[in-house]
């Protein structure tokens, strides 16, 4: 099951794969959850949310009326009583519905504290076994865990592998211009940035630790991207 999450951050450029007008408001996903003001973007894009969650402080009156007319489920939390961000609540709702491929839009480019917190959400234990990706235009960010991971893009796409939460050990890559062979990428060092994909798919095997994979101009299904049905 594929899910799309729209948050209330900046959403100035859509990924190429998202063309809602051509698919009646659904493009390759089964569930759409909006984090509070993300519903304003959904209305402008003609996307029909299944759920809007948050304290609703950023939802415009026009969007609120539209949601009520659609009969959209709205899960309202008082700001002073919730401990999770609206984005975290939306993400967890998608997992509870059974989503295993999740794309997140609007999570980057806004407030720095929200941006960092949104990237940290990728390490939630509830997301183990899920393919989750944050999209900023055609830049894709996902978290790679221990084991063998595949990333997709196109020949020439820039790829950066950044240790997350600690050193990443036993890193071996294929399909990248500058390969790694059972090596360690150290936290707070920049060695893993600006690699280049040689084909449409590359592999990153990790013995221990976590890596953020950032792929510029990613194309084709993968890294959480819903494939057109």
CA 75 to chain centre: 21
Say yes or no: 113 and 183 in one domain: no
Say yes or no: 129 and 179 in one domain: no
Say yes or no: 125 and 100 in one domain: yes
Strand (E) or helix (H) holding 62? helix 61-70
Q: Taking a C-beta distance cutoff of 8 angstroms, is the pair 47, 30 a contact? A: no
pLDDT score for 20: 60
pLDDT score for 25: 58
Say yes or no: 110 and 165 in one domain: no
**Residue at 220 is within a domain:** no
**Residue at 142 is within a domain:** no
Say yes or no: 13 and 113 in one domain: yes
Using the 3D structure, point to which of 94, 109, 137 is the last residue of a domain. Answer: 137
**Residue at 30 is within a domain:** yes
Say yes or no: 152 and 133 in one domain: no
* CATH code of residue 119: 3.40.50.10240
pLDDT score for 228: 32
Say yes or no: 24 and 74 in one domain: yes
Using the 3D structure, point to which of 115, 137, 159 is the last residue of a domain. Answer: 137
- Split into its structural domains, the chain has a count of 2
Say yes or no: 154 and 115 in one domain: no
Q: Taking a C-beta distance cutoff of 8 angstroms, is the pair 95, 126 a contact? A: yes
Orientation of helix 112-120 relative to helix 86-96, angle to 10°: 20
* CATH code of residue 196: 2.60.120.320
Residues of the chain short of pLDDT 70, as ranges, are 19-27, 80, 217-229
Q: Which domain holds residue 12?
A: 2-137
Residues 123-126: contacts with CB under 8 Å, at least 24 apart: 123/164, 123/165, 123/210, 124/88, 124/91, 124/92, 126/92, 126/95
Say yes or no: 73 and 159 in one domain: no
Say yes or no: 99 and 126 in one domain: yes
Tens digit of each residue's pLDDT (9 = 90 or more) over 132-164: 999 998 899 999 999 999 998 889 999 999 999
**Residue at 12 is within a domain:** yes
122: left (phi over 0), alpha (psi -120 to 50) or beta: alpha
The whole model's pTM is what? 0.88
């Amino acid at each position: 099951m594929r899910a799309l999450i729209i948050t209330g951050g900046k959403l100035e450029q859509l990924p190429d794969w998202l063309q809602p007008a051509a698919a009646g408001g659904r493009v390759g996903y089964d569930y759409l959850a909006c984090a509070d003001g993300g519903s304003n973007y959904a209305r402008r894009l003609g996307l029909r949310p299944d759920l809007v969650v948050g304290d609703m402080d950023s939802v415009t009156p026009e969007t609120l009326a539209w949601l009520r007319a659609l009969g959209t489920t709205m899960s309202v939390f008082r700001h002073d009583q919730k401990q999770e961000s609206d984005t975290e609540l939306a993400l967890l709702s998608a997992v509870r519905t059974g989503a295993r491929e999740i794309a997140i839009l609007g999570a980057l480019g806004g407030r720095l504290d929200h941006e960092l917190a949104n990237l940290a959400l990728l390490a939630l234990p509830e997301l183990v076994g899920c393919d989750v990706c944050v999209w900023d235009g055609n830049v894709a960010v996902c978290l790679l865990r221990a084991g063998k991971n595949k990333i997709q893009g196109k020949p020439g796409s820039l790829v950066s592998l950044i240790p997350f939460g600690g050193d990443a050990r036993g890193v071996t890559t294929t399909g990248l211009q500058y390969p790694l062979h059972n090596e360690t990428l150290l936290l707070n060092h920049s060695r893993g940035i600006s690699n280049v994909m040689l084909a449409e798919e590359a592999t990153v095997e990790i013995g221990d630790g976590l890596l953020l994979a950032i792929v510029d101009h990613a194309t084709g299904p993968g890294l959480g991207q819903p494939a057109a049905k």
